[in-house]
């Protein structure tokens, strides 16, 4: 079996369902995104599900969630498969970030090994629109090269774990916005850090970029509406955007949003002969 995300289909999940008639369906929700939080809110009050939300732990003070939460890794695909079996998990929803390729690959392998149905929430990628000045690159290191030799004031929105890649281009001035203060932990000489938690509106982003004197935006093609305002702001201000393309991800069933994942979970219950609430009672649907 290939261990490279997106190369070759993962073994199909068995058609049998691990959901027992009338039992609570235990769901592992791999989160850290707005879609994960939205799905947790949609099914938290349903008696049909017992949900555990798993977070990677990159944020010391994550937002409160309406379901039980665990923090930290599982020990790779083997560790996750073991955890699924030990906790009698009947379904897994991968609602991790589109760039969390390793986590998604581990989830696909673990679910195949443990014979647990898996669904991914894959938000649509952003597409270039009239007025966008995009420079599309395949990786974060390539985005450093795309900035060029002339000094520029750069707004980095790629996650603080990736900032170290820009240490090799110290002639630029960088602005990084983080949820939590980072002090002097980021190894870039000319760096301004701003602590703020989104979501940010178009007006917020436009004002921030203008006041910070931003000349170029570097971001990942995360997709979705939650952080699209920065793309719109760059368009309005006429700024170039260096945008990192998404990595290849496992070939597994996927939906674009939390509502689709909720429907998939209820369909699993129905297929197993369980008795979820009627569709009209689905968390306000």
Confidence of residue 183 (pLDDT cuts 50, 70, 90): low
Distances from the Cα of 235 to the Cαs of 49, 123, 215, 217, 231, in angstroms?
A: 43, 21, 12, 10, 6
User: 38, 223, 54: which is closest to 122 by C-alpha?
Assistant: 223
The yes or no reply on domain 133-244 and CATH 3.40.50.20 is yes
According to the model, what pLDDT value does residue 3 have? 36
Pairwise CA distance, residues 194 & 68, whole Å: 31
25-123+248-281 with 133-244: one CATH topology?
A: yes
Pairing between β-strand 91-94 and β-strand 118-121 as defined by DSSP bridges: parallel
Per the CB < 8 A criterion, the answer to whether 68 and 40 are in contact is: no
Q: What's the CATH superfamily of 25-123+248-281? A: NAD(P)-binding Rossmann-like Domain (3.40.50.720)
Pairwise CA distance, residues 281 & 86, whole Å: 31
Pairwise CA distance, residues 121 & 43, whole Å: 15
pLDDT in tens, 9-38: 444 444 434 555 456 799 999 999 999 999
Domain ranges for the chain: 25-123+248-281, 133-244
pLDDT in tens, 107-126: 999 999 999 999 999 999 99
């Amino acid at each position: 079996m290939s261990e490279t995300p997106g190369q070759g289909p993962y073994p199909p999940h068995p058609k049998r369902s691990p959901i027992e008639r009338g039992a609570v369906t235990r769901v592992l929700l791999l989160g850290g995104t707005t879609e994960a939080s939205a799905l947790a809110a949609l099914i938290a009050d349903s008696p049909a599900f017992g949900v555990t939300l798993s977070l990677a732990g990159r944020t010391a003070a994550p937002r409160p969630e309406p379901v039980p939460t665990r923090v930290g890794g599982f020990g790779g695909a083997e560790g996750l498969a073991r955890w699924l079996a030990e906790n009698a998990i009947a379904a897994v929803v991968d609602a991790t970030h589109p760039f969390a390729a390793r986590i998604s690959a581990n989830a696909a392998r673990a679910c195949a090994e443990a014979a647990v149905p898996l669904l991914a929430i894959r938000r649509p990628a952003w597409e270039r629109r009239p007025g966008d000045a995009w420079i599309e690159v395949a990786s974060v290191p390539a985005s450093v090269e795309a900035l060029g030799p002339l000094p520029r004031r750069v707004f980095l929105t790629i996650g603080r774990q990736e900032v170290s890649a820009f240490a090799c281009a110290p002639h630029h001035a960088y602005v990084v916005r983080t949820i939590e203060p980072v002090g002097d932990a980021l190894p870039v000489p000319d760096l301004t850090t701003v602590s703020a938690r989104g979501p940010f509106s178009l007006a917020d982003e436009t004002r921030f970029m203008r006041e910070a004197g931003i000349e170029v935006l570097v971001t990942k093609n995360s997709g979705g509406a939650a952080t699209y305002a920065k793309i719109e702001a760059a368009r309005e201000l006429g700024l170039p955007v260096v945008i990192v393309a998404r990595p290849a991800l496992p070939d597994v069933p996927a939906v674009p949003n939390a509502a689709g994942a909720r429907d998939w979970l209820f369909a699993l219950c129905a297929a197993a002969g369980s008795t979820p609430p009627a569709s009209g009672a689905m968390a306000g649907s």
